[in-house]
């Protein structure tokens, strides 16, 4: 019984009903005002006032769209980013020209004009079942024969309407969300441009970070070692010139050789961080090496009908390395599975472990860094990690076939 009541009158349903009741008067009033303003602006276009009035109407519609996005975010959990707006230059006339020529404002106005009948229908369907269901149940005690056929019919009708209420409400709210995303959010092209700008900025930041790390490692590591080798060779020269004992000369040579070996190893590590040599044999062979060196037993399932481009292979390799490291270090997993598929020009990687779960992206965390890294190549990262496990991390990277 408690579960049924929670389904019918849960927090999500309450917020959805509150949204429908709140927006109806707002939509009716704003729709009428903006419609009258638009008609007046069109009629007055033969005069200088018409264009200014239309610009004011579009600006008002934009304000309404912004408040509607905020309300949908608070009550429906539908977070839609604000679309980019045109910026006018050249004073008041430049502002008017930018507002009238901005397709975003016209989409906002379309939403305001379409929404009143949709709001009435949405409330009638989404809230009507709740209202009529409650009225049917409340009316039972007031009937002449509450336990007669009429009372039973009211009971059945009320329960049926309340049980159908959440399903109809979700369908109605899905239409509301669709209208908000299509008419009040960024268009596909503008969102794509925004994503590309974000990807470019992340790529620049990542490249700068990598270059700084390489510079620091070379300066503090290999460069210092090579300078040490030069100093030891100078010392050998001085010892030979001074006709020092052979044992002392050999000790200086051995020290120079040891320092040189350390420098070469550090340079090899730096090169391996840029492009692992194990990838020379392909991604599948590289994953075998990852599994062999993992602290958690790993099973690999690979379906790679062709090799991805070298850059994508490198990204995929480092991504899986980090996910397997996280599984062994943070999740307490006893085993993990790597599945990698290349199908329909999409490289899909799934890393699953039987750990404690609860993995999520957080600012500055490893998963957030991974998401930023694969976002540079239009990749996506999905996390399915309920408390108690298991955890499945899915990475999808576009991998077009070579021309």
Residue 384 and residue 326 share a domain: yes
Residue 40 and residue 98 share a domain: yes
Does residue 47 sit within a domain?
yes
CA quadruple 160, 163, 167, 173: dihedral sign: positive
Of 142, 158, 186, the residue at which a domain comes to its end is 186
**Cβ pair 353, 327 in contact under 8 A:** yes
Residue 353 and residue 286 share a domain: yes
Does residue 24 sit within a domain?
yes
CA–CA dist 142, 162 (Å, integer)? 20
CA–CA dist 60, 29 (Å, integer)? 13
The answer on pLDDT for 9 being more than 70 is: no
Residue 179 and residue 52 share a domain: yes
Residue 119 and residue 14 share a domain: yes
- Distant-in-sequence, close-in-space partners of 77: CB < 8 Å, separation ≥ 6: none
Tell me what the mean pLDDT of segment 149-166 comes to.
74
Given this model, what pLDDT does residue 358 score? 79
Number of structural domains found in the chain? 3
Does residue 403 sit within a domain?
no
Residue 171 and residue 221 share a domain: no
Higher pLDDT, 126 or 4: 126
What is the tens place of the pLDDT at every residue in 320-333?
Answer: 888 888 777 777 77
- Distant-in-sequence, close-in-space partners of 38: CB < 8 Å, separation ≥ 6: 54, 57, 109, 113
Residue 337 and residue 250 share a domain: no
Given this model, what pLDDT does residue 56 score? 87
Residue 147 and residue 15 share a domain: yes
Lowest mean pLDDT among 45-54, 194-203, 351-360, 368-377: 194-203
- Distant-in-sequence, close-in-space partners of 164: CB < 8 Å, separation ≥ 6: 129
- The percent of residues in the chain predicted with pLDDT above 90, rounded, is 0
Residue 284 and residue 249 share a domain: no
The answer on pLDDT for 1 being more than 60 is: no
The answer on pLDDT for 238 being more than 70 is: yes
**DSSP H helices in 297-351:** 310-329
What is the tens place of the pLDDT at every residue in 80-130?
Answer: 777 776 666 667 777 778 778 778 888 888 888 988 998 888 888 888 777
- Give the CA dihedral 51, 53, 59, 65, nearest 10 degrees: -110
- The percent of residues in the chain predicted with pLDDT above 70, rounded, is 80
- Distant-in-sequence, close-in-space partners of 56: CB < 8 Å, separation ≥ 6: 37
Does residue 91 sit within a domain?
yes
Can you give the pTM of this predicted structure? Answer: 0.50
Residue 363 and residue 244 share a domain: no
Tell me what the mean pLDDT of segment 144-157 comes to.
70
Does residue 133 sit within a domain?
yes
Of 132, 165, 186, the residue at which a domain comes to its end is 186
Given this model, what pLDDT does residue 87 score? 63
112-116, 182-186, 197-201 — most confident range: 112-116
CA–CA dist 325, 322 (Å, integer)? 5
Given this model, what pLDDT does residue 2 score? 46
Q: Which of 379, 301, 321 is nearest to 346 (CA)?
A: 379
CA distance readout (Å), 75 to 72, 242, 338, 354: 5, 87, 39, 35
Domain carrying residue 362: 278-398
CA–CA dist 315, 371 (Å, integer)? 11
Would you list the DSSP string of 371-385?
Answer: HHHHHTTT-EEEEE-
Give the pLDDT band of residue 274 (cuts 50, 70, 90): low
Residue 288 and residue 266 share a domain: no
Of 274, 305, 324, the residue at which a domain comes to its end is 274
Residue 169 and residue 58 share a domain: yes
**369 Cα distance to chain centroid:** 12
Task: For residue 339, give the CATH number of its domain.
Answer: 3.30.565.10
Q: Which of 116, 112, 103 is nearest to 34 (CA)?
A: 112
The answer on pLDDT for 159 being more than 80 is: no
Task: Count other C-beta atoms under 10 Å from residue 213's C-beta.
Answer: 12
Does residue 336 sit within a domain?
yes
Q: Beta strand 336-343 with 298-303: parallel, antiparallel or unpaired?
A: parallel
Q: Which of 388, 402, 226 is nearest to 309 (CA)?
A: 402
Tell me what the mean pLDDT of segment 380-398 comes to.
84
Given this model, what pLDDT does residue 218 score? 65
């Amino acid at each position: 019984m408690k579960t049924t009541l929670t389904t019918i009158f849960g927090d999500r349903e309450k917020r959805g009903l509150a949204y429908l009741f709140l927006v109806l008067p707002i939509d009716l009033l704003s729709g009428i005002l903006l419609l009258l303003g638009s008609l007046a602006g069109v009629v007055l276009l033969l005069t200088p006032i018409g264009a200014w009035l239309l610009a004011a109407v579009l600006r008002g519609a934009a304000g309404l769209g912004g408040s509607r996005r905020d309300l949908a975010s608070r009550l429906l959990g539908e977070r839609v980013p604000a679309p980019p707006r045109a910026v006018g230059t050249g004073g008041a006339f430049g502002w008017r020209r930018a507002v009238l020529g901005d397709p975003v404002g016209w989409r906002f106005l379309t939403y305001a004009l379409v929404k009143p009948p949709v709001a009435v229908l949405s409330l009638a369907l989404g809230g009507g079942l709740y209202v009529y269901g409650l009225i049917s149940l409340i009316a039972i005690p007031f009937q002449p024969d509450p336990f007669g056929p009429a009372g039973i019919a009211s009971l059945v009708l009320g329960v049926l309407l309340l049980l159908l209420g959440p399903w109809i409400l979700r369908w109605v709210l899905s239409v509301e969300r669709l209208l908000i995303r299509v008419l009040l959010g960024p268009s596909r092209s503008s969102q794509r441009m925004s994503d590309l700008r974000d990807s470019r900025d992340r790529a620049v930041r990542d490249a700068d970070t990598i270059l700084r790390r390489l510079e620091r490692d070379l300066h503090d590591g290999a460069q210092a070692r090579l300078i040490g080798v030069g100093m030891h060779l100078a010392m050998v020269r001085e010892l030979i010139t001074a006709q020092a004992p052979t044992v002392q000369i050999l000790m200086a040579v051995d020290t120079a050789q040891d320092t040189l070996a350390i420098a070469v190893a550090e340079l090899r590590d730096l090169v391996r961080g840029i492009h692992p040599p194990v990838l020379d044999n392909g991604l599948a062979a590289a994953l075998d090496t990852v599994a062999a060196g993992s602290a958690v037993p790993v099973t690999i399932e690979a379906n790679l009908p062709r090799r991805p481009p070298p850059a994508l292979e490198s990204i995929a390799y480092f991504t899986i390395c980090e996910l397997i490291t996280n599984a062994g270090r943070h999740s307490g997993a006893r085993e993990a599975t790597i599945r990698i598929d290349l199908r329909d020009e999409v490289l899909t990687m799934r890393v699953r472990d039987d750990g404690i779960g609860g993995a999520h992206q957080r600012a500055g965390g490893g998963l957030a860094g991974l998401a930023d890294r694969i976002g540079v190549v239009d990749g996506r990262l999905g996390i399915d990690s309920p408390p108690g496990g298991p955890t499945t991390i899915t990475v999808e990277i576009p991998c077009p076939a070579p021309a």
